[in-house]
Structure 1
Amino acid sequence: MAIFREIGNRNGEGLSLSNIGLTLEKQQQPELAIVFYKQSVNIREGIREDLRKLPREQQASYTQTVADSYRALASLLLEKNRVMEALQILDLLKVQELQDYVRNVQGNERTVKGIELFPQEQKIIQNYTAIQAPVIRLGTELADLRKLQTRTPTQQQRIQEIEKIQAQTNQQMSEFLKSPAVVALSQQIQQTAPQQNLTLSAYKDLQTRLNRLGKRIALFYTLVLDDRLELVLLPPGKPPIRRSVAIKRTELEKMIQTFRQDLQDPSSQVKETAQKLYKQLIKPIESELQQADVQSIIYAPDGQMRYIPLAALYDGKKWLTERYQINYLTALALTKLEPESTHDPRVLAGAFTQGNYNVQVAGQNFNFQGLPFAKTEVEGLGAAIPNTTKLFDKAFNRDAILSKIKNYSIVHMATHAVFVKGAPENSFILMGDGNRINLKEIEEWKLPDVTLVVLSACQTALGGELGNGLEILGFGYQLQRTGVRASIASLWEVSDGGTQTLMDALYARLKSGKMTKAEALHEAQISLITGKNQSSGETRSSVRLTPGNSGQNATISRDLSHPYYWSPFILIGNGL
Structure 2
Amino acid sequence: MKNLVFVLDGPLRNIPISALYDGKQFLIEKYAISTSPGLQLLGPKPLDRQALPTLVAGSTDPMPDLGLKSLPKVLVEIKKIAATLAKTDILLNQAFTRDSLQRSILGKPARIVHIATHGQFSSQANQTYIVSGIGDRININQLGDILNNRDQAQSQPIELLFLSACQTLKSDPQAALGMAGMAVQSGARSTIASLWYADDEASAELVGKFYEHLIDPKVATKAEALRLAQLDLINNPRFNLPVYWAPYVLLGNWL
- Scaled by the length of structure 1, the TM-score of the pair is 0.41
Selected match of 1:562 from 241, 247, 251: 241
Note if 1:437 corresponds to 2:116. Answer: no
2:94 aligned residue: 394
Task: Give the CA deviation at 1:531.
Answer: 3.5
Q: How does 1:38-187 map to 2 (within 5 A)?
A: none
Note if 1:487 corresponds to 2:166. Answer: no
Percent identical across equivalent pairs? 33
SS in 2 for 1:437: strand
Aligned length, in residue pairs: 244
Residue-by-residue CA offset, 1:416-456 (whole Å, 9 max, x unaligned): 1101233x122111111111211122332233421001111
Residue-by-residue CA offset, 1:534-560 (whole Å, 9 max, x unaligned): xxxxxxxxxxxxxxxxxxxxxxxxx20
> Aligned letter for 1:415?
T
1:508 aligned residue: 212
RMSD over aligned Cα atoms: 1.8
Q: Does structure 2 retain, via aligned residues, the 8 Å contact 1:461–1:467? A: no
> Aligned letter for 1:454?
F
Q: Does structure 1 retain, via aligned residues, the 8 Å contact 2:49–2:215? A: no
Residue-by-residue CA offset, 1:163-189 (whole Å, 9 max, x unaligned): xxxxxxxxxxxxxxxxxxxxxxxxxxx
**Per the alignment, do residues 357 and 454 of structure 1 end up closer, same or farther by CA in structure 2, a change over 3 Å counting?**
farther
1:524 aligned residue: 229
**Per the alignment, do residues 531 and 443 of structure 1 end up closer, same or farther by CA in structure 2, a change over 3 Å counting?**
closer
Q: Does structure 1 retain, via aligned residues, the 8 Å contact 2:119–2:165? A: yes
> Aligned letter for 2:2?
Q
Q: Whole-Å Cα distance in 1 between the matches of residues 18 and 168 of structure 2? A: 17
Q: Does structure 2 retain, via aligned residues, the 8 Å contact 1:487–1:572? A: yes
Q: Whole-Å Cα distance in 2 between the matches of residues 390 and 347 of structure 1? A: 9
Q: Whole-Å Cα distance in 1 between the matches of residues 223 and 15 of structure 2? A: 18
Q: Does structure 1 retain, via aligned residues, the 8 Å contact 2:121–2:176? A: no
Q: Does structure 1 retain, via aligned residues, the 8 Å contact 2:123–2:172? A: no
Selected match of 1:332 from 39, 43, 46: 39
1:418 aligned residue: 120
SS in 1 for 2:165: strand
**Per the alignment, do residues 523 and 432 of structure 1 end up closer, same or farther by CA in structure 2, a change over 3 Å counting?**
same
Q: Does structure 2 retain, via aligned residues, the 8 Å contact 1:509–1:515? A: no
> Aligned letter for 1:383?
A
Task: Give the CA deviation at 1:511.
Answer: 2.6
Residue-by-residue CA offset, 1:265-311 (whole Å, 9 max, x unaligned): xxxxxxxxxxxxxxxxxxxxxxxxxxxxx711111111011112100
Residue-by-residue CA offset, 1:458-504 (whole Å, 9 max, x unaligned): 21133x4423732221122112xx2x110100111122111111011
**Per the alignment, do residues 511 and 357 of structure 1 end up closer, same or farther by CA in structure 2, a change over 3 Å counting?**
farther
Note if 1:571 corresponds to 2:250. Answer: yes
SS in 2 for 1:358: helix
Note if 1:350 corresponds to 2:51. Answer: no
Where in structure 1 are there 5+ consecutive unaligned residues? 1-293, 360-366, 533-558
Note if 1:299 corresponds to 2:6. Answer: yes
2:161 aligned residue: 453
**Per the alignment, do residues 347 and 512 of structure 1 end up closer, same or farther by CA in structure 2, a change over 3 Å counting?**
farther
Give 1 or 2: higher helix fraction.
1
Give the structure, 1 or 2, with the largest relative contact order (CA under 8 Å, sep 6 or more): 2
Task: Give the CA deviation at 1:331.
Answer: 1.5
SS in 1 for 2:135: coil
Q: Does structure 2 retain, via aligned residues, the 8 Å contact 1:307–1:461? A: no
- Scaled by the length of structure 2, the TM-score of the pair is 0.89
Q: Does structure 2 retain, via aligned residues, the 8 Å contact 1:303–1:468? A: no
Task: Give the CA deviation at 1:358.
Answer: 3.1
Which one has the largest radius of gyration? 1
**Per the alignment, do residues 575 and 378 of structure 1 end up closer, same or farther by CA in structure 2, a change over 3 Å counting?**
same
Q: Whole-Å Cα distance in 2 between the matches of residues 427 and 503 of structure 1? A: 22
Residue-by-residue CA offset, 1:348-393 (whole Å, 9 max, x unaligned): 111111131534xxxxxxx222211101110111011111112210
> Aligned letter for 2:166?
C
Residue-by-residue CA offset, 1:213-251 (whole Å, 9 max, x unaligned): xxxxxxxxxxxxxxxxxxxxxxxxxxxxxxxxxxxxxxx
Q: Whole-Å Cα distance in 1 between the matches of residues 169 and 133 of structure 2? A: 23
